[in-house]
Amino acid sequence: MIEVLRLGHRISRDKRISTHVALVARAFGASKLYYTGQKDSDYEKSVSDVVKDFGGDFNIEYVKSWKELFKGKTVVHLTMYGLDYREEISKVKGDILIVVGGEKVEWEVYTKVDFNLAVTNQPHSEVGALAVFLDHLTHSNYKKFDGKIKIKPSAKGKEFF
Amino acid sequence: MIEVLRLGHRISRDKRISTHVALVARAFGASKLYYTGQKDSDYEKSVSDVVKDFGGDFNIEYVKSWKELFKGKTVVHLTMYGLDYREEISKVKGDILIVVGGEKVEWEVYTKVDFNLAVTNQPHSEVGALAVFLDHLTHSNYKKFDGKIKIKPSAKGKEFF
């Protein structure tokens, strides 16, 4: 089981990035996105609408605090300050919770997680880091979705099953 | 040589996502980001500031039209309607231009590129798709940067060389 936690969501300012985080989580095999920060029903709706149309059993849930979520899970915080994920990822086992920031991540997160891992030690994007990490974690074996909308891979256009 | 083209940038609305696109391009080995849409000096500055601090020879350039850029390059458009990148990526050779949208991608893009490729046929994120595609294209061999700021990989904190 793979779940994702998005820290410190701010209404309006983070809506698009947080939506990308959630949709990447879903597309690359996570089953749930938790988020802290400001509860945002628009955010939840835009994610749920994609699930309704494209399928899968993906959920989004607001939580006040991340502390309870860490229990019983292997918690991986993706941060550019962390160890190289390429060297550590094989140690990541069990029920996995992947944590991504947030403009400012509390110091306690760094100390309470099982792994602080970097997808390159360069500044880029929690969306990009999450996508690459999930891709490696799942060995690029992507989940099959059976939604109302099913895209048919096409060389030159937009086709549907 | 790998370059990236971000289509249809809109000032303010796209600033953060477009910045993530540019920083992912840089972190995963591209040497340049072109963008169309609205010219945005704040966007250019935020990308250039990262390059100044973290190193590398990455450039960002506004172009009015993408048409000239396609000449002499292997052009890959990342779109959820495309063929499975896992099956096609080995055919992508030469000087590569990777194209990402944009809320609305002109139809002509689909017909003028060499490859329309999907990183999953699910809706998620141009940032995530670009990161995963570059990661595969470079076989996870990340560029070394030698900037003013150099992060030292750390298990539990924030360290610098």
Answer whether residue B104 shows pLDDT above 90: no
Q: Provide the mean pLDDT of chain A.
A: 97
pLDDT of residue A9 exceeding 90, the answer is: yes
Q: Per-residue pLDDT for A12 more than 90?
A: no
A98 neighbourhood in chain B, CB within 8 Å: none
Say if residues B126 and B154 touch (Cβ distance below 8 Å).
no
Of B130, B142, B154, the CB nearest to A120: B142
Q: Is B12 on the interface with A (CB under 8 A)?
A: no
CB nearest to A153's CB, from B28, B84, B136: B84
Question: Does residue B101 register a pLDDT over 90?
Answer: yes
Instruction: Indicate yes or no: CB of B122 within 8 angstroms of CB of A17.
Output: no
Please give the average per-residue pLDDT across B55-63, as a whole number. 97
Residue B102: which pLDDT band, with cuts at 50, 70 and 90? confident
Compute the nearest-CA separation of B64 from chain A (Å).
24
Question: Residue B103: pLDDT above 90?
Answer: no
Convert the pLDDT of each residue in A25-50 to its tens digit: 999 999 999 999 999 999 999 999 99
* Contact between chains at A121 and B17 (C-beta distance less than 8 A): no
What is the helix (H) or strand (E) element at residue A15, kind and residue range? Answer: helix A15-27
Question: What's the domain count of chain B?
Answer: 1
Q: Kindly state whether A2 is in contact with chain B, defined as any CB-CB distance less than 8 angstroms.
A: no
What mean pLDDT is predicted for residues B37-53?
Answer: 98
% of chain B with per-residue pLDDT over 90: 96
Instruction: Give residue A147's domain range.
Output: 2-160
ipTM above 0.85, yes or no: yes
Q: What is the pLDDT of residues B76-92, one digit of tens each?
A: 999 999 999 999 999 99
Measured at the CA of B46, the angle between CA B40 and CA B49, to 5 degrees, comes to: 135
Residue of chain B minimizing CA distance to A157: B110
Task: Tell whether B72 is within 8 A of chain A (Cβ).
Answer: no
Q: Identify the residue among A127, A144, A145, A149 best suited for mutation to test binding to B, counting B beta carbons within 10 A and taking the highest.
A: A127
Residue B124 CB neighbour total at 10 angstroms: 25
Any B CB within 8 A of A100 CB: no
At A128, is the secondary structure helix, strand, or coil? helix
DSSP-assigned letters across all residues of A25-87: HHHTT--EEEEEES--HHHHHHHHHHHHHH-S--EEEE-S-STGGGTTSEEEEEEEEEEEHHH
**pLDDT-derived band at A21, boundaries 50, 70, 90:** very high
CB of B28 within 8 Å of any CB in chain A? yes
- Per residue in A45-101, pLDDT (tens digit) is 999 999 999 999 999 999 999 999 999 999 999 999 999 999 999 999 999 999 999
pLDDT at B12 over 90: no
Question: Is any Cβ of chain B less than 8 angstroms from the Cβ of A75?
Answer: no
Residue A82 touches partner B, C-beta closer than 8 Å: yes
Instruction: Tell if the CB–CB gap between A27 and B120 is shorter than 8 Å.
Output: yes
CA distance A140 to chain B (A): 8
Q: What is the model's pLDDT at position A128?
A: 98
pTM as predicted: 0.98
Q: What is the dihedral of CA A111, A102, B99, B80, to 10 degrees?
A: 90
pLDDT at A103 over 90: no
In chain A, % of residues over pLDDT 90: 96
| Backbone angles phi and psi of A66, in degrees to 5 | -85, -10
In angstroms, the CA A60 to CA A57 distance is 10
Radius of gyration of chain A (CA): 16
B135 at A interface, C-beta within 8 A: yes
Q: What residues of chain A lie within 8 A of the CB of B130, using their CB?
A: 128
pLDDT of B47 reads 98
Rounded to whole angstroms, the Cα distance separating B56 from A25 reads: 30
Nearest CB among B122, B131, B156 relative to A132 is that of B131
Q: Is B151 at the interface with chain A, CB within 8 A? A: yes
Residue range B91-107: average pLDDT?
A: 95
A109 vs A58: CA distance, rounded Å? 25
**Residue A107 sits in a domain of what CATH number?**
3.40.1280.10
Helix axes B15-27, B41-54, angle to 10 degrees: 30
Contact (CB, 8 A) for B33 and B22:
yes
pLDDT band for position B21 (cuts 50, 70, 90): very high
Chain B contact probe: residue of A81, A87, A111 with most B CBs at under 10 A: A81
Does A104 have pLDDT greater than 90?
no
